[in-house]
Structure 1
Amino acid sequence: MIFLTDDEQRMLQGEKGHIPRLCLQYLVEMAEVAGAEKLVDLDGTGDFHTPLTAAIPQYEFPLEELEQLVASGATFKIPTFANKSPFYELTPMHGWEHCHMLTYGKNAHDDPCFHENAMHEEYYTLYRKMGMMTTHSCVSYLTASYLPTIGQHCSWNESSAIPYCNAVLGARTNIDGSFATCFLGKAVYYDMHVTENRYATVLVETERLIKSDLEWDVFGFAVGEECGLAIPCLTGTAKPTTTQLCKLNSSMNTGGAVRMYHIPGSTPEALTLEMAFGNKSPRQVIMIDEDDLKKTYDTLNYHTSDVVDMVYLGCPHLNIVDLMLLARKLEGRKCKIPFWIMSTPWLYDVAKNLGYVRIFEAAGAHLMTGTCMAAMGGVPTGVKNIAVDSAKQSYYITGCYPDDSLQVCYGSQDNCIDAALTGRWRGEWK
């Protein structure tokens, strides 16, 4: 049974309008499913998958009602950012002219009319008036320039973002970012919003010092498979970089559903091992050994041929340092096969001004923004084997196109660059 404040009760009765009532009904149903007793007022930030106003059809409302809401002066109650759309056929915001491909055999991504229609600009114009910052990225937190602080209650979405909020920032969110939570400034009080639920229960050890980007990615997926929903405390690793944290977060929340973890001395709620476990003993100790890492690496490789037709980097979206380092590696070189690089839209002009876009184009690579291959509804004609450096992308992209028998070569970024330059895959687990 959920307890609602007097103000929430009036909202549920429709005294504040149809859309607030609909949004609160949505949260009440979530609370009933989660077994939560109350809602929590948000004091952090929010994001949600756009353009739809709800992930559940019965709580969706039409564009006309959104227009009326905006005309009344309504705004989002918390700083709100636009995650990239998870819906198929999402075309890139930049670089779409180079997408010589169809979405499930229907629409061409490089068709200007399709691109314009796919942008849903009528929704985004209204969202902006409500205060949304339209970052259109799975890593909107890296370009937001405004982050929640430790202990603040947020409402985020996206697999790499949830652990970043909880573990890296020490703020609090479940996988519940939506129009309702951002508009009302309220979320269901359960799971990661509750202090007692944030302590580690599983101690994860490893034989190898996890330090390279690839190791963090593979390690994260293996941890996710072992831990599922449990909260791990990770030991035996080097200090992760921002890029490595994003890889770890996305792969853990793909191999499993790890939305919170601790790394003693690196994450804010675990200065020590004892802090990570709330001064209790681990319920379970897991060793990720060399065989586990090799097995995970092999699992993420779905190819019988070493002939590569295309390279894709940018899952999660590459940050500005990633783009700088990639430009250094590609400068003065020439790709033999299509090479797509995906980043957040807010960084495109920055990358262009810094000369990275020119370097990419000279090498035969294209910088794109705002989507990912797994959300685009197809691959370019003739592509049968694609190379990626992301466990998450490897996992999802094969599931998106099962009828195309798409093969995936998975490895390090350097492996992928070599494949782009030679058309061959020479990656291996070392």
Structure 2
Amino acid sequence: MSLSIPARTLAGAGAAGPLLTASEGLSFWGGVDPETGNVIDRHHPLAGACVTGRVLAIPSGRGSCTGSGVLMEMILAGRAPAAIVVCEAEEILTLGALVAELVFDRSLAVVQIARDDFARLAGFAQARIEDGRLIVTAADGEDATDAPVASTAEPAAADGAEREVAAALRLSPLDRAFLDGRHGRAAQVAFEIIRRMAAIQGARELIDVTRVHVDGCIYTGRAGLRFAELLVEWGARVRVPTTLNAISVDRRRWASQGVAPALGVPASALADAYVAMGAEPSFTCAPYLLDDAPVFGEQIGWAESNAVVYANSVIGARTMKVPDYLDICIALTGRAPAAGCHLDAGRRATVALDVVRPEAADDAFWPLAGYACGLVAGADIPVIFGLEAAAPTADDLKAFCAAFGTTSAAPMLHIAGVTPEAAGQDATRRIAVGVADLRRAWDELNGAATDEIGLVSLGNPHFSLAECAALAHAVAGRTRSPEVAVVVTCGRAVHDAATRAGHVAAAERFGVAFVTDTCWCMLGEPIVPPTARNLMTNSGKYAHYAPGLVERGVRFGSLGACIDAAVTGRASARHPAWLAP
């Protein structure tokens, strides 16, 4: 049995290998170990499988924008898949392949096929990509080149993206100056990457953006550092205000914290390279907490999945989910493809979710509901009903957006009665997200085998000033177990403000340690205590990624439950009363 399927080439050219398929999107950051190629996302259907040398078929990427950096590292190290096949719009993984091709002359095929064709792939064992087609065969190896199947997709030649650019993209005089190299080598290379991505996204023109948030400053390996250093060598300077995401270490204190120089030195060098290009050393994964946050309707270019979802959904600013490395390209030119969430049409809801909020639900509801809604929405932008009277705080919405961005590929969401563009949104397809769905999400995030807790991890995304105040209040008059470390990550600006307000001192008296510049998705030992078998967190995002990233069991719950665990050294696996059957 075999199929021959038309395929649109997004990057690279031909490839062949064993076929590995899944019906669920995959984040390469936190989901795939770049050293081994193994899927480390314990919640994914492919957990434990190796993607190296295989034709990986997934609906799309999802989760972190840093997936592009991880894939590029794998390509240059020879540990990447033989090819990637998707059926949804896919920019994060594609961008990693494009940078490897354009900057390092290393190719990886990424192709898109129709959804109906993707559904036919299950059960096939081998795949190859050639001449604008994906050819899959059964284990017996039967050749299928003469057996095409009906499809809604149109084949695209290997140079299809280039032809699309030449035919469709309107260039301004400034764009042509970038393309001709009149603004230097760095801006020229950056603009070429933007051109290629514009073709993939179907953009007819580019737009000006007023600010950029760069996620590519996270250290994924030597290739990412070399890319940044090349830009500096080529004279790169940002043209618009540019902030930097959390990096991989506490820039000022990593040595005293016991971080190995093998990580601390290159991670710091990477941060320094972006600062040398003119970026602000903000080092936060929550740039919307900075004093100069974007405003409604502002066209921006942000990376970092939680920040993108929050900016689009809660603030009403406009950005694509910008992959790592495309972010600095946009910063160097001030130009971005006019596609997706930059446009009115790209912000419309495509699925409606009816969510039940149980009575007496605590603050754990918001990350839990975001996680469950992301699983249901997939790549669709949802409008969420049922929370009109919930009155979430900014921190509730921060937690919701971060968890949603972990399990969904969508760049935004709408919550009726809450977010600024929700009025008038609806969709013909409706899905109920009830208490049973919340319980399943709870069980998924509470996978620790025992109730012993050795670490309470808070601040993913980075803690806000209000959360620092809530923490200081929650620990007042209580005594931390000496067997439990309590660590909070936050941005420098928030830490400074919380210090002035007395919240840091109050929390430190309880035994809380504060870490700035980096975040939990980048932290390992010794900040994660080597003796800690399990950790507890109030972050749906970190509860999802931690088992694969730090190989610890996880318990998830409210901030109050986290503090109780810090005091007792234990965390129950039972559902909270508001989730009980």
Compute the displacement of 1:354 (Å).
2.0
Corresponding position of 1:355: 502
Whole-angstrom CA distance in 1 between matches of 2:251 and 2:554: 25
User: Matches of 1:29 and 1:53 in 2, distance apart?
Assistant: 24
Which of residues 263, 283, 293 in structure 2 aligns to 1:147?
A: 293
Residue correspondences, number: 398
Please point out which of 7, 20, 28 is paired with 2:195: 28
Match status 1:365 vs 2:523: no
Number of the residue aligned with 2:23: none
One-letter identity of the residue aligned with 2:334: G
Looking at structure 2, the residues matched to 98 and 294 of structure 1 have their Cα atoms a distance apart, in angstroms, of 41
Partner of 1:332: 477
> 1:409 corresponds to which residue?
555
Cα distance, 1:122 vs. partner?
A: 3.6
Identity of aligned residues (%): 28
Are the counterparts in 1 of residues 468 and 504 from structure 2 also a CA contact under 8 Å? Answer: no
Per-residue displacement from partner, 1:30-55 (whole Å, max 9, x unpaired)?
A: 1222232222221x321102537999
Paired with 2:351 and 2:275, the residues of 1 have a C-alpha distance of 45
Cα separation, partners in 2 of 1:414 and 1:118, compared to 1, 3 Å: same
How far apart, in 1, do the equivalents of 2:536 and 2:243 lie? 30
Partner residue in 2 for 1:40: 207
Other-structure match for 1:243: 395
Residue of structure 2 in register with 1:316 after alignment = 461
Q: Are 2:419 and 1:267 aligned?
A: yes
Residue 104 of structure 1: aligned partner: none
CA offset at residue 372 of structure 1?
2.0
1:305-355: per-residue Cα shift (whole Å, max 9, x none)? 011111111111110010011001112322111111111111222222222
Aligned counterpart for 1:389 among listed residues 523, 528, 538: 538
Map 1:69-148 → 2, pairs under 5 A: 69=235, 74=237, 76-85=238-247, 90-93=248-251, 96=254, 99=257, 108-109=258-259, 115=264, 118-120=267-269, 122-123=272-273, 125-127=275-277, 130=278, 132-143=279-290, 145-148=291-294
Seen in structure 2, the aligned counterparts of structure 1 residues 59 and 169 have a Cα distance that, compared at 3 Å, is same
Q: In 2 relative to 1, CA 174–60 (structure 1 residues): closer, same or farther, beyond 3 Å?
A: farther
Query: Aligned in 2, Cα 1:98/1:382: closer, same or farther, shift over 3 Å?
Result: farther
TM-score by length of structure 2 reads: 0.64
Partners of 1:95 and 1:367 in 2: CA distance: 11
Partners of 1:38 and 1:58 in 2: how far apart? Answer: 28
Query: Could you list the runs of 5+ residues in structure 2 that have no partner in the other structure?
Result: 1-163
* Alignment deviations for residues 149-171 of structure 1 (CA, whole Å, 9 cap, x no partner): 22221100111111111111111
Bigger mean CA offset, 320-329 vs 332-341: 332-341
Question: Residue 160 of structure 2 corresponds to which residue in structure 1?
Answer: none
**1:227-258 deviation line (CA, Å, top 9, x unaligned):** 11111111111122110111110111112123
Cα separation, 2, equivalents of 1:243 and 1:287: 25
Q: Which residue of 365, 373, 393 corresponds with 1:223?
A: 373
Query: 1:306/1:58 Cα in 2 relative to 1: closer, same or farther (>3 Å)?
Result: closer
What does residue 449 of structure 2 align with?
304
Displacement of 1:92 in angstroms is 2.3
1:426 aligns with 2:576: no
Aligned with residue 408 of structure 2, among 250, 256, 267: 256
1:351-377 Cα distance to aligned partner (Å, 9 max, x none): 222222222222111111121233124
TM-aligned CA deviation for residue 64 of structure 1: 6.7
Cα deviation code 1:177-231 (max 9, x no counterpart): 6111012111112111121121112111123258632111111111000011111
* C-alpha distance in structure 2 between counterparts of 1:357 and 1:7, whole Å: 48
TM superposition score normalised by structure 1 = 0.85
Question: Higher Cα Rg: structure 1 or 2?
Answer: 2
CA contact (8 A) 2:460 2:539 kept: yes
State the match for 1:214 in structure 2: 364
Offset at residue 21 of structure 1 (A) = 0.7
State how far apart, in whole Å, the 1-side matches of 2:554 and 2:368 are: 15
Counterparts in 2 of 1:162 and 1:65: CA distance versus 1, 3 Å: closer
> Which deviations, in whole Å up to 9, do the C-alpha atoms of 1:377-424 show, x marking residues without a partner?
4432111111111110011111213xx4x2111111111111101101
**Amino acid across the alignment from 2:365:** E
Q: What CA distance in whole angstroms lies between the structure 1 residues aligned with 2:272 and 2:473?
A: 39
**What letter corresponds to residue 261 of structure 1 in structure 2?**
L
- Give the AA of the match of 2:232: L
Deviations 1:4-45 (A, max 9, x none): 234323321223321111010110121222232222221x32
Q: CA RMSD for the aligned pairs? A: 2.7
Amino acid at match of 1:13: D
Q: Match of 2:229?
A: 63
| Structure 1: gaps of 5 or more residues | 100-107
Larger helix proportion, structure 1 or 2? 1
Confirm or deny that 1:196 pairs with 2:341.
Answer: no
CA distance in 2, matches of 1:65, 1:154: 22
The answer to whether structure 1 residue 234 and structure 2 residue 384 are counterparts is yes
